Amino acid sequence: MLRSITFNKELWKLSSFESISYDKQKEILWIHTYETDIQFHSIDEQLLFNFLIAIDKEGFIENKLKPTYLVSSIHTSA
25 by Cβ neighbours in 10 Å (0-12 / 13-18 / 19+) ranks as: exposed
pLDDT at 76: 55
pLDDT at 71: 87
44 by Cβ neighbours in 10 Å (0-12 / 13-18 / 19+) ranks as: exposed
pLDDT at 75: 59
Residue 38 is part of which domain span?
2-75
State how many domains the chain has. 1
CB atoms within 10 A of CB 69: 18
- The SS3 of residue 62 is helix
DSSP code, position 16: S
Q: Report the chain (78 residues): mean pLDDT per 10 consecutive residues.
A: 93 95 97 93 97 97 95 64
